[in-house]
Structures are given as C-alpha cells and as structure tokens.
Amino acid sequence: MRIVLIGFGTVGQSFVKLIDEGEDYLRNRYGLEFELVAVSDIIKGSVMDPEGLDKAELLKLVTKTGSIKSYSQNDSGFDSVESIRKSDADVVVEVSWTNLETGEPGITHIREALSLGKHVVTSNKGPIALAYHELNSLAKEKGVQLRYECTVMSGTPAIILGSEGLAGNKVMGFRGVLNGTTNFILSRMEQGATYESALKEAQGFGYAEVDPSADVEGWDAVGKTVILANTLMGARLKPLDVKRQGITGITVRDIEESKKRGGALRLVAEAWTEGSKVEAKVSPKTVDSRDPLARLSGALNALTITTEGLGDVTIIGKGAGGVETGHGIISDLIAIKRLSGH
Ligand code: HSE
C-alpha cells in the first residue's frame, strides 16, 4: 500500500514510527506492506521518493532538526497538494492540523485525493465535521474509501462501533466524554493540581490541540459531537448548531461540589432526537459516580450510544495521543485493504 502522509507533527510521526517498528507484524498478520512515498508538512518540508522513503531516517531527522528538508534523497520544492497529485499513491493519510471554522487545509487535501481516486484516512476533525456529506459522496462517486476512525476517541473504535458494529440499529442519541485534554485537566484538578499546571501536563503528553483553547473552550468536543451526529444519526449539524460551554470557568470549588454530591465533574458531549431533529450540547456536568463517565481518569474517553434495538452500548478507551491516534490510522488502512483488496 503506497502512502502519502500530509502532516508530520505528533500524529504523523507516531504513525510512521508504528509502521516502521511494526513492519514484520503487519506483514505476517495482515499481509500488508506500507511504502511511504511522500511526506509533506507546511513547516517541516516535503519529500518524495517513488521507491519509498526511509522512515527511520525521516524520524531521526525530524527529532534532531525539527525539519525534513535535508533528507538525503530530497525531491522537494512542492507543497502538500502537489505531493498528493505527483505521487503515485493508493492512500492519502491526512493528519494536518484541525480548523473547525473553515476545515482547511484539510478539506482541500481530502477533496484533491478523492477526486484523483485515492483512498483517504484522516484524523482531522475539521473536514469531517464541516464537509462529511460532500466528501463522502465524492468518495462513493470515485469508488474509494474515506475513513476517519481517529477523529473521535483517537484509536478507540467509536466510529466503527456505531457505523458497522451497530449497523441496522437506529441510533437515537449518544452521550460521552470525548475530549482527552479536558478530562485529564479535570481529573488532575480532582487530585489537587491547578488548572494551569494540568493544562501544561496535557500539552506535554501531546493530548492538546496546537491551540489548546480548542480543547478547554469545548470546540474539540463540539467537532466530535457533530461528526458522530452527522455520521451515525444522519444529522446535518454544523459546529455552531451545538450549544457549548467549556471548562475555563471551572474552579476547584466546582469540582469539590460535584464530589460532595456523590459524582464527578466531566465535560459531557451529548446528542438526542427531538421529533425529526437532532439536538446537541457540550457542557460541564456532574455525573453520578455509578455512571461509566464518572470513572474516567486522565485522557480516557467514553461514549454511550443509545440505539432503538439494543439500548445503551458503551465504549471506553484512550481518546488522545500520537500513538493512540496512529493505531486508529493503521486500523483504517487495514480496513481499506480488507474492503478493496489493496
Ligand atoms: N485534543 C484532543 C483531545 C485530541 O484532547 O481529545 C484528540 O482528538
């Protein structure tokens, strides 16, 4: 499987490390070999080699210099869109930064790749939250797959649970903790840390967005809520349709208050059906201590999907981090191989 990687930050680098170190396992277990033919990052540079780039060398270079511009066989001087056009790849892995207002540059990358008949795997929430229906129609028209497992709960399989595992069961709504950074901050504050030091720690672990206000103001959870509502419930929500309140106003006293009431304070994302409409909200709430959401510590996420046929189904797992997201990308690539015979 020939891959173009767009974005070489925390997620991109973790993914490359995983396919490099897991080469034998992926070949023996899944008959899958990855050839990384191009990497393009707006800051770190762009490199291409139709014979396959040396993954270990790229990782060494970026760790040492913060750039890949001095890669030994550098065919450079092109940008991300040209990387998609020029490289003879089967799949574009799009892990550039998330913009929940415009979806760019991710939408352009994904549209370009699908138009050229290439499969797309993305962890980028902007394009899926803002343009899922358009991009999915384009993928269908071109006979390729658009996969976005790690846009919600990173590598924890929330999307595939709802779309494939629960196929045939009408999704009536869902409720979850979908942002790792804020859950990490709230649980560290429960243990006595300050908001500022907990946020710094979350950034250090690679959980937070490039601009962490996207996490603490609730926008990241809004993006994931929109993705789940639009892909599992057939809604057509935009981020501004979701009522939103983040955790910036939360104090240690609020957290203690929730504890006293026998629960825990969590940033809860929820969607429900009202007549023929889907409504959604992200806000801090005290959840009962028997609720699976109350027991989440650190960057753990949880999602309870309410279905007509099965009632509630809950999945819990890690929701953020480079390695965790890298695993989600690999699971999407394996699904592409399984469904399209690459
Ligand atoms: N910043 C996000 C989070 C990363 O904290 O959940 C995963 O989408």
| Region of residue 248 (phi > 0: left; psi between -120 and 50: alpha; otherwise: beta) | alpha
275: CA distance to ligand 1 center in Å? 32
Q: State what percent of residues in the chain have pLDDT above 70.
A: 98
Contact (CB, 8 A) for 114 and 142:
yes
CA-CA distance, 202 to 187, in Å (whole number)?
A: 11
In a 10 Å sphere around its CB, with 0-12 CB exposed, 13-18 middle and 19+ buried, how is residue 22 labelled?
middle
212: CA distance to ligand 1 center in Å? 9
Band of residue 218 on the pLDDT scale cut at 50, 70, 90: very high
CA-CA distance, 330 to 149, in Å (whole number)?
A: 10
Length reported for the chain: 342
Encode pLDDT of 192-216 as tens digits.
999 999 999 999 998 998 889 999 9
pLDDT at residue 14 in the model: 97
Overall average pLDDT of the 115-122 stretch? 98
- The position carrying tokens 């953020």 is 320
Torsion of CA 321, 324, 326, 329, to 10 degrees: -120
Q: What is the mean pLDDT of the chain?
A: 95
Contact (CB, 8 A) for 166 and 306:
no
Encode pLDDT of 238-297 as tens digits.
999 999 999 999 999 999 999 999 999 999 999 999 999 999 999 999 999 999 898 898
- The position carrying tokens 């429960």 is 190
CA dist 54 to 30, 94, 193, Å? 22, 19, 42
125 a catalytic residue: no
**Residue 125 CA: which ligand 1 atom is closest?**
8
CA-CA distance, 238 to 244, in Å (whole number)?
A: 12
The encoded tokens of residue 118 equal 């290439």
For residues 148 and 209, which has the higher predicted lDDT (pLDDT)? 148
| Closest protein CA for atom 8 of ligand 1 | 320
**Range with the largest mean pLDDT of 255-259, 320-324, 331-335:** 331-335
Assess whether pLDDT exceeds 90 at residue 72: no
Assess whether pLDDT exceeds 70 at residue 77: no
63: CA distance to ligand 1 center in Å? 22
pLDDT at residue 75 in the model: 63
Contact (CB, 8 A) for 218 and 244:
yes
List Cβ neighbours of 204 (8 Å cut-off, separation of 6 or more): none
Instruction: Name which of 341, 224, 326, 342 is nearest 8 in CA terms.
Output: 326
CA dist 280 to 158, 216, 290, Å? 18, 18, 23
Band of residue 74 on the pLDDT scale cut at 50, 70, 90: low
Choose which residue among 152, 181, 300 to substitute to test ligand 1 binding: the one with the highest number of ligand atoms within 8 A of its C-beta: 181
Encode pLDDT of 7-63 as tens digits.
999 999 999 999 999 999 999 999 999 999 999 999 999 999 999 999 999 999 999
**Residue 208 CA: which ligand 1 atom is closest?**
1
Sheet holding 243-244, edge to edge: 243-244, 277-288, 263-274, 171-177, 300-307, 311-318
Per the DSSP assignment, residues forming a β-bridge with 41 are 45
